[in-house]
Structure 1
Amino acid sequence: MMLAHPLLRSPIEFKENRVPVLIVENGQLFRRLIGDLLAQENGEPGEFALSENAGLTEIGKNVQMTLNPLFPELDGRRILTKIQQMAVTAAEDQPAKTAECLAALNDYGAVLTAAIPFNVTFSEMESADDVVKALAFRMDTEEMSVPEQLLEMMRLHRECFRKRLFVFVNLKSFFSENEITLFYQSVFYEKLSVLLLESGQKEPVRPCEEVRIIDKDLCEF
């Protein structure tokens, strides 16, 4: 898989156990590249081209961009919807257990109704979907570190939305060197494709990184 742009001397290539790092020291170009990729992620026109096996592939369907690594997308509406769908499928795969649960909840509702000294009723549980909605499934990130949350976000978006390339802006500004090391190890283990867009060089180049620098004068090396 490769990512190209007219202002880059050559395409960025994604290889197993390697992390491309594009450092853009020119603020105007940095802003333009981010704006282009963000627009294309949302289905709008832009100048980036994503290709694989000599054929173009749609950026909006394949790229997930994270502007602020401190707040990975784990609780958006479409994610919660996907999680609920998975929970419903799991419940439907266990029809006997689900039927038992529905009966127990409705019986308990009837008990509570009888205990209230007024003429009340309740909404009976009729399907697995009703139970799942009541349980309000969501991602549990309370005990996760930020790098762990990022990894979970990538796994989730790959599984649920078929995202294949994950782009992070200034990730190294937020993580320690040890956190970056652990992050890379997890990325390699999960066989994820990652691109780091950085506005400056934060640490020595690691053996697993393929660093490209565009300086303030737009010289690329």
Structure 2
Amino acid sequence: MKLVHPEWEKQIVFDFKSVPIVSIENPTYYYQVVEELYQQTEGKEGSFVLSDDGEILDFRKHVQLLLSPWTMDFSTAVVTKRLCNRLKEEANNEQHYMKTKAVMQHVLSYLQELEQELPIPLTYDWNPDVANLFKAVHVQVDTSDLNVMEKMIEYMKLWTELFGKTCFIFNQFRTYLPKSMRKEFYTCAMEEEIPFLLLEGACHDTIEQESCLIIDEDLCQIF
């Protein structure tokens, strides 16, 4: 997978051998880059191109721009819906189908029992969707005990599992990761072969695994 921009002299190649960082030291240009990335993830036009094995990918579908750790939302409506549908697939597979059928029948039988206690005529679906049962118990990903590095890894794994291959762009996340945690994050992400880019301001403490494209105050490019 590659990310390119006509103004950048270096292609961002996700080869899982090093960690790509774009370090932009000019504040005005930094804003322009983030704005353009954001607009493209919203489906609007822009100059960034993401490709995989020569095939140009739909930017909106295949890029997650994470502006801060607090935008890594594990419980959005789209995530919850996809998660419940995946659980539904598991519930209806050969291994679990009969148990799922028995559980849903038990729910309907209990509803009939409750109906007898009410002087109200009721109607309901006799073939309910098991995904609605998962929604009713508020199925969510548990991130309560995770630090920021672990959340980054789990978010990428979750999103990739539910929505397919995705390029993750983290805005200024390096600020939250001490060197030891950065090394662990890089190792985990590369082992999982998840493409990601760190978009940063000035970087003065790079480590061995990091491969930097520096765009300085005068917009000169160093790599």
Q: 1:131 aligns with which of 117, 130, 133?
A: 133
Counterpart of 1:10 in structure 2 is 10
Q: What code does the residue aligned with 1:9 have?
A: E
Listed one character per residue, the Cα deviations across residues 137-182 of structure 1 (whole Å, up to 9, x for unaligned) are 2211122222222212111221222243111000111222222122
The gaps in structure 2 that reach 5 residues or longer are: none
Matches within 5 A, 1:158-177: 158-177=160-179
C-alpha displacement of 1:95: 2.4
Structure 1: distance between partners of 2:217 and 2:186? 28
1:113, CA displacement in angstroms?
Answer: 4.8
Is there any run of 5+ residues in structure 1 with no aligned partner, and where?
A: none
Are 2:64 and 1:64 equivalent residues in the alignment?
A: yes
The one-letter code of the counterpart of 1:155 is: K
User: 2: CA distance between counterparts of 1:120 and 1:15?
Assistant: 64
CA distance in 2, matches of 1:142, 1:16: 29
Q: TM-score, normalised by structure 1?
A: 0.88
- Asked if structure 2 preserves the Cα contact closer than 8 Å seen for 1:147 and 1:179, the reply is yes
Structure 2 counterpart of 1:142, one-letter code:
S
Contact 1:63 1:163 in 2 (8 A): no
Measure, in 1, the Cα distance between the counterparts of 2:173 and 2:21: 10
How do 1:136-147 and structure 2 match up within 5 A?
Answer: 136-147=138-149
- Partners of 2:115 and 2:52 lie apart in 1 by 61
What's the Cα RMSD here? 2.1
Q: 1:210 Cα shift?
A: 0.5
AA partner of residue 60 (structure 2): G
Distance 2:183 2:20 in 1: 14
Question: 1:98 maps to which residue?
Answer: 100
Asked if structure 1 preserves the Cα contact closer than 8 Å seen for 2:10 and 2:213, the reply is no
Cα separation, 2, equivalents of 1:160 and 1:129 = 15
Letter in 2 for 1:146: V
Give percent identity, aligned residues only: 25
Moved more, 159-168 or 191-200: 159-168
Q: Which of 170, 187, 190 in structure 2 is aligned with 1:188?
A: 190
How many Å apart are 1:110 and its aligned residue?
4.1
